[in-house]
């Protein structure tokens, strides 16, 4: 009994020594889609003399041992339970393989067996799971998206389910621009599919939902991942608005600088153009109230600025003629005064142009008892006055519109003369 026990212990020790020289490296878990293929990254360690060409690779399902296991693929056979191939070079200790048509029935543990100068089944294994759904993609967006600055978005499937011979397809919705697809091998030997979408965003893309859609020819339901775009842009569509349509000198009005931007406008500047002279106002807020203090035409415009840029608004022209500044009651007063003034001018002009309509200032008798009408002089000249002064029979005379100097010259020659409008 003691001898048998020692032989058993010795055999176990030798076995552990032998297998310690043989090991395989592969992912502990892999996934695939029902009906698709699966890539198994694989490399092993043996004595250098143990592997020569030709060498055979076998994938055993269920167990390391012959009992309770099934060899699903043998690279030396043309007929296997699963079609596949050894992609790596076994003489270089690379056992990377691909198995096709993987279904739910083959979901299990898998061991790799090397058959060359030495035949050994490695103790390490990979657990393969078969999914009915596609892996969910992962979207990556830049931290900041700015209008008119080229931006790239990535959609990645980083899963053990990928197979280079039968990869899923990544598409963008909406298709903002052309995209390119990259199949990349990671450090652990598994694959990832990356789709890169590069485009030039505009302000209209702000708030747009962009989706990356994963599809597969096996008829599996497509899977999508959606991201909301936030696009920053400078002030746009700036304009100046007025809070009233009627105003006068001394009345308050409010101007507002209106526009859209993202982020919001955080700095305002105001300008006034009077007869071609541009003046920057001391205003820094979006809304500004002031009293109208001048007439004429004035054009106001504003500038809005945020972290992206600055934009000028269109101009708002305010025209205030002097007549527009009078209140309605003053119109009646001005019109009435003008009418009266015009009437007086007409009357005076009519009287001056029609001297025949003037009547003698008075009637009297001369020394012989005859009625003598006094002389009436209207707008007379100096010569006429001299002639009038030589009348042999003096009588009253009336002088209208005559200078005072002329009156003094002829006082000695006329009697009872009356001078009007001196």
pLDDT per residue rounded down to tens, the chain (422 residues): 333 333 333 333 333 344 458 899 999 999 888 888 999 999 999 988 889 888 999 999 999 999 989 999 999 999 999 999 999 999 999 999 999 999 999 999 999 999 999 999 999 999 999 988 888 899 999 988 999 999 999 999 876 667 878 888 899 999 888 889 888 888 877 788 899 999 999 999 999 999 999 988 777 889 999 999 999 999 999 999 998 877 777 788 899 999 999 999 999 999 999 888 999 998 999 998 888 877 788 999 999 999 999 999 999 998 865 544 444 444 455 556 666 776 776 556 555 555 444 444 344 444 445 444 445 444 555 565 555 555 444 444 444 444 444 444 444 444 444 444 44
Residue 96 lies in a domain: yes
Which of residues 82, 103, 131 is at a domain's end?
131
219 and 264 part of one domain: no
Pick the closest to residue 195 from 165, 168, 175, 171 (CA basis). 171
Which of residues 325, 350, 370 is at a domain's end?
325
**pLDDT value for 90:** 95
212 and 257 part of one domain: no
375 and 398 part of one domain: yes
Q: Is the Cα dihedral 59, 64, 70, 71 positive or negative?
A: positive
Q: How far apart are CA 155 and CA 291, in angstroms?
A: 59
**pLDDT value for 10:** 39
Pick the closest to residue 198 from 148, 147, 153, 149 (CA basis). 153
172 and 103 part of one domain: no
191 and 265 part of one domain: no
201 and 292 part of one domain: no
**Structure-token pair, residue 82:** 């699963």
379 and 280 part of one domain: no
Q: How far apart are CA 355 and CA 288, in angstroms?
A: 67
Q: How far apart are CA 174 and CA 209, in angstroms?
A: 8
Residue 15 lies in a domain: no
Residue 199 lies in a domain: yes
Q: Which residues pair with 154 in a beta bridge?
A: 140, 196
Domain that holds residue 406: 358-420
**pLDDT value for 404:** 45
Residue 347 lies in a domain: no
225 and 239 part of one domain: no
Pick the closest to residue 118 from 171, 39, 189, 47 (CA basis). 47
**pLDDT value for 70:** 95
10 Å CB burial of residue 256 (0-12, 13-18, 19+) is middle
**pLDDT value for 48:** 83
**pLDDT value for 186:** 82
Entry field: residues in the chain = 422
Pick the closest to residue 97 from 112, 86, 82 (CA basis). 86
Tell me how many domains the chain contains.
4
Residue 10 lies in a domain: no
* pTM for this predicted structure: 0.61
Residue 345 lies in a domain: no
69 and 108 part of one domain: yes
Residue 12 lies in a domain: no
CATH code (residue 266): 2.60.40.10
26 and 127 part of one domain: yes
212 and 239 part of one domain: no
Give the single-character DSSP code of 178.
-
- Kindly state the helix (H) or strand (E) to which residue 126 belongs, with its residue range: strand 119-131
Residue 404 lies in a domain: yes
Pick the closest to residue 23 from 47, 52, 53 (CA basis). 47
222 and 143 part of one domain: yes
Q: Which residue has the tokens 């309509």?
A: 357
Which of residues 325, 341, 366 is at a domain's end?
325
**pLDDT value for 160:** 62
């Amino acid at each position: 009994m003691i001898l048998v026990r020692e032989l058993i212990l010795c055999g176990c020790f030798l076995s552990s020594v032998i297998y310690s020289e043989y090991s395989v490296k592969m992912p502990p878990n892999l996934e695939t889609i029902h009906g698709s293929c699966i890539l198994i990254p694989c490399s092993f360690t043996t004595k250098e003399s143990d592997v020569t060409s030709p060498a055979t690779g076998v994938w055993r399902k269920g167990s390391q041992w012959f009992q309770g296991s099934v060899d699903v693929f043998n690279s030396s056979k043309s007929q296997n339970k699963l079609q596949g191939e050894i992609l790596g070079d076994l003489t270089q200790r690379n056992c990377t393989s691909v198995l096709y048509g993987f279904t739910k029935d083959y979901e299990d543990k898998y061991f790799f067996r090397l058959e060359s100068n030495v035949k050994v089944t490695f103790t390490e294994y990979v657990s393969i799971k078969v999914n009915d759904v596609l892996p969910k993609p992962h979207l990556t967006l830049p931290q900041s998206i700015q209008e008119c600055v080229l931006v790239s978005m990535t959609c990645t499937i980083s899963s053990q389910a990928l197979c280079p011979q039968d990869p899923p397809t990544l598409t963008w919705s909406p298709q903002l621009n052309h995209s390119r697809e990259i199949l990349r091998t990671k450090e652990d030997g598994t694959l990832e599919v990356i789709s890169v979408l590069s485009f030039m965003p505009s302000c209209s893309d702000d708030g747009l939902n962009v989706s990356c859609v994963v599809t597969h020819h096996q008829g599996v339901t497509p899977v999508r991942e959606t991201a909301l775009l936030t696009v920053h842009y400078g002030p746009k569509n700036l304009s100046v608005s007025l809070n009233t349509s009627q105003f006068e000198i001394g009345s308050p009005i409010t101007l507002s600088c209106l526009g859209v931007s993202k982020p919001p406008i955080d700095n305002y500047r105001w300008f006034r153009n009077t007869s071609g002279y541009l003046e920057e106002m001391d205003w820094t807020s979006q809304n500004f109230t002031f009293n109208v203090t001048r007439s004429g035409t004035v054009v106001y415009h504003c500038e809005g600025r945020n972290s992206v840029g600055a934009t000028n608004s269109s101009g708002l022209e305010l025209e205030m003629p002097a007549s527009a500044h009078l209140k309605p009651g003053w119109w009646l007063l001005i019109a009435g005064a003008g009418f009266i003034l015009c009437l007086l001018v007409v009357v005076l002009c009519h009287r001056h142009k029609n001297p025949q309509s003037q009547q003698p200032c008075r009637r009297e008798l001369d020394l012989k008892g005859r009625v003598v009408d006094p002389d009436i002089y209207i707008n007379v000249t100096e010569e006429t006055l001299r002639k009038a002064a030589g009348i042999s029979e003096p009588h009253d005379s009336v002088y209208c519109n005559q200078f005072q100097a002329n009156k003094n010259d002829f006082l000695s020659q006329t009697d009872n003369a009356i001078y009007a409008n001196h």
